[in-house]
A and B are shown apart, each in its own frame.
Chain A
Amino acid sequence: DTAVSQTPKYLVTQMGNDKSIKCEQNLGHDTMYWYKQDSKKFLKIMFSYNNKELIINETVPNRFSPKSPDKAHLNLHINSLELGDSAVYFCASSQAGLAGHLNTGELFFGEGSRLTVL
């Protein structure tokens, strides 16, 4: 039973298209994230949601729009795909750690979704 699952695992599409990646976690965590891993394997946070509320929004183009219908799901929609969007996108979740801290603790990652834009 996968803790954090993403679909699709692989996605190949043309420039200009719109695509979505879905993420679900069954760990009961309050916080979910989207990370992007580029061709050099560098991992960078894109967004973070805590109990359906956006709490981290890094410098990401407006073409990227996260949506959290409930705290177990965080989807990523990308409009007008560009070549530079090709990457592996990781969803992750975590549970609040120490009292008084917004969120600290281990992140559990999905298997990643490899997006290739042609």
Chain B
Amino acid sequence: AQTVTQSQPEMSVQEAETVTLSCTYDTSESDYYLFWYKQPPSRQMILVIRQEAYKQQNATENRFSVNFQKAAKSFSLKISDSQLGDAAMYFCAYQSSNTGKLIFGQGTTLQVKP
């Protein structure tokens, strides 16, 4: 069975600085998808970035980028130029290409200090 682990329950960053959130996963599949979702206090789940396992190039979305290390089964999220609105809970998620099931990590709460 696939598992996703986020080892940082809480992280803090100064506004305008850069922060990296860690995520590791375990799977025997070779084809899958990885996501980072953001959940602000409003409770809405918002997609931040996605990565297809077959792509070697790391995904980038504006200030958000990932470091995808397939052999190490690691998928970290880097947030550059952090803004107050980035404060939220961030979930790493694995999606099986066989079932489509999305499996979430435990989440990391990010605090952004002004």
Contact = CB atoms under 8 A, between A and B. Distances in A.
Contacts of B97: 97-98, 101-102, 104
Enumerate the 5 nearest inter-chain pairs by beta-carbon distance, A residue then B residue, closest first: A103-B100, A109-B45, A43-B104, A112-B43, A101-B97
Given A105-B33, A106-B35, A109-B45, A43 B101 contact: no
A117 to B, nearest CB: 18
B16 to A, nearest CB: 27
A72 B44 CA distance: 20
A45 to B, nearest CB: 6
Interface residues of B, number: 23
B47 interface: yes
15 contacts: A33-B102, A40-B106, A41-B89, A43-B91, A43-B104, A50-B100, A55-B99, A55-B100, A101-B100, A102-B97, A102-B98, A104-B100, A111-B42, A111-B43, A112-B43
B91 A104 contact: no
A45 B101 contact: yes
A118 interface: no
B100 to A, nearest CB: 3
B6 to A, nearest CB: 11
Interface residues of A, number: 29
B35 A48 contact: no
Contact of A41 (B101, B103, B107): B107
A106 B50 contact: yes
B33 to A, nearest CB: 6
Interface string A89-113: 0101010011001111111010110
A43 B47 CA distance: 15
Nearest to A111: B44
A88 interface: yes
A94 B100 contact: yes
Contacts of A55: 99-100
B99 A56 contact: yes
Contact of B103 (A45, A101, A105): A45
Contacts of A88: 43
Given A43-B104, A102-B98, A104-B95, A109 B50 contact: no
